[in-house]
Amino acid sequence: MNWTRLFAVLLKEFRQVRRDRLTFGMMVVIPIVQLVLFGFAINGDVRHLPLAVQDADRSTFSRSLVAALETSQYFRVVRHVQGAAEADALLARGEVQFVLVVPGDFSRQLARGEKPVILLAADATDPAATGNALAAVNAIAARAITRDLTGPLAHLRPTEAPFEIRSQRRYNPEGLTRYNIVPGLMGVILTMTMVMMTSLAMTRERERGTMENLLATPLSPLEVMVGKIVPYILIGYVQVSVILFAGWLMFDVPMVGSLALLSAVMVLFIAANLAIGFTFSTLARNQLQAMQLTFFFFLPSMLLSGFMFPFRGMPGWAQALGEVLPLTHFLRIVRGIMLKGNTFSQIAPHAWPIALFMLAAGVLALTRFRQTLD
C-alpha cells in the first residue's frame, strides 16, 4: 500500500464532503434532531389530558372528586358543560380526551350508602393516550371521597369505594391498537411516498439532462408543477384504496363516516406533500440529496404528529411544531371520519391548516422553480 496515494484519496473525499454542504449539514443536523425528539418530545406516560366536567350535583363530594383528578396530573379540566350533547360534541371534535359525568343525586345516594355511579367517557381512538389515566382514575377518586367521609358519614369508609366509576371507551370500546394504527398508516405512507417520489422525479430529470428539454417548451412553471403533481395524486388514491380495503379485510377497521368526505380531504393532504417534494427537488442537486431532504421532513412528521406516540404527551414546544405539520391534522381527520363519523364542520378546524400549508409550500416551490429557470 502506497501511503501517499491513500492520503490523496482521503484528501479528495474530505474535499468532496466539504463541497456537498447539504449532505454535510444533514450528517450534523439529523443526529441532533433525533436526539432532541427522542429525548424530550417522546413521552409514553401522558399527563394533563383535557377533561370536560358535567357536574349536576355541585356538592362538596363532586368538587373534591374533580379537584383530585386534576391534582393527579393525569387530567386537566378545560371545560364545564351543561348537557350530554355539548360533551359529545367536544369528544367528537377531539377538543377533550375525557368527559366526567356526575349525576344530580350523587351526594344523596352516597350518604344513603347506595353506591352511586359516575360516568367517565373517554376518546379511545388512541388507546395509548388514555390507558394510564383510566387505570388510575378509580384509586384517585376513592382517596378523594374518603377524605370527605367524616363525622356521621365515617361509617361509609369501607375497604372498597362507596361509589362506582364506569369507564366508557368511545369510538374504540375494546381499546384495539389497530383502530389507531391502520388509519394513521394512511397518512404516514402518503407523506413518505408523495414527498419522495416528487422530489426524486424532478431531480432525476435534472441529472439525466431531460429538464433542459422540458424548459425549452413554452410551459410555465405553474403548468410544469401541476403536470408533475396530478399523476401522483392519482397514485396516492390508489395507495389509499389499498390501505382502506386491507384495513377492512384483515383488521376489521370500521368506516363510520363519509368516504366521499375523506376522499375530498385527501386531495389537500396529497397536494401539500407533493408541493413539499417539488420544493425539495429545487434544493437538491442529485437524488441522494433529495432522499436526505425527504428523510429530514419525514422523521419529525412521523414522531410529532401523534402517530407513534400520544400527541398530548409531548411538551408544549413539540406540540407547537407538530401543529405546523400537515400529517398531524390529517391523522385527526382520518381517525375522526373513520372511527367517529365526523362531518365537514367537525373536521374543518383541521382541514384549513393543511390547505394553508399546501398554499405556502406551493408558493415556495414556484418561487424556487423560477429561480432555477433563471
Cα angle, residue 368 at apex, residues 365 and 372 outer, rounded to 5°: 130
- Of 157, 205, 347, 366, nearest to 274 (Cα)? 366
Can you give the C-alpha Rg of the chain in angstroms?
A: 27
Distances (CA, A) of 72 to 140, 141, 192: 7, 10, 39
User: So what's the pLDDT on residue 24?
Assistant: 65
All three cell numbers of 337, joined, read 371520519
- Of 107, 298, 100, nearest to 188 (Cα)? 298
φ, ψ at 170 (rounded to 5°): -75, 145
All three cell numbers of 175, joined, read 381499546
**What's this model's pTM, rounded to 2 decimal places?**
0.81
Cα angle, residue 152 at apex, residues 54 and 62 outer, rounded to 5°: 10
> How far is residue 333's CA from residue 335's CA, in Å, rounded to a whole number?
6
Judged by average pLDDT, the poorest of 4-8, 93-97, 250-254 is 4-8
How many C-beta neighbours within 10 Å does residue 201 have? 17
> How far is residue 369's CA from residue 357's CA, in Å, rounded to a whole number?
18
User: So what's the pLDDT on residue 114?
Assistant: 82
User: So what's the pLDDT on residue 335?
Assistant: 93
For the chain, give percent helix, strand, coil, nearest 5. Answer: 70, 10, 20
Residue spans of the domains in the chain: they are 49-170, 177-373
Residue 13 CB partners (closer than 8 Å, separation 6+): none
Q: Are 146 and 165 a contacting pair, CB within 8 Å?
A: no
109-135 confidence digits (pLDDT tens): 887 878 888 899 999 888 888 888 887
Residue 133 CB partners (closer than 8 Å, separation 6+): 46, 49, 74, 75, 97, 98, 122
155 or 284, which is more confident?
284
Distances (CA, A) of 295 to 34, 92, 269, 321: 12, 33, 18, 17
> How far is residue 323's CA from residue 268's CA, in Å, rounded to a whole number?
16
100 or 40, which is more confident?
100
31-86 confidence digits (pLDDT tens): 777 677 666 666 667 888 999 999 988 888 888 888 888 888 889 999 999 888 99
Helix or strand holding residue 98 (H, E): strand 98-102
Say whether domain 49-170 belongs to CATH 3.40.1710.10.
Answer: yes
Judged by average pLDDT, the poorest of 2-16, 179-193, 341-355 is 2-16
> How far is residue 269's CA from residue 292's CA, in Å, rounded to a whole number?
22
334 or 374, which is more confident?
334
Cell 385527526 belongs to which residue?
332
199-227 confidence digits (pLDDT tens): 888 788 777 777 667 667 777 777 777 77
- Res. 369 pLDDT band, cuts 50 70 90: confident
Distances (CA, A) of 366 to 217, 232, 298, 360, 361: 17, 18, 22, 10, 9
All three cell numbers of 137, joined, read 382514575
User: What is residue 181's three-state secondary structure?
Assistant: helix
- Of 265, 331, 266, 321, nearest to 297 (Cα)? 321
All three cell numbers of 240, joined, read 389509499
User: What is residue 169's three-state secondary structure?
Assistant: strand
- Of 80, 85, 79, 158, nearest to 115 (Cα)? 158
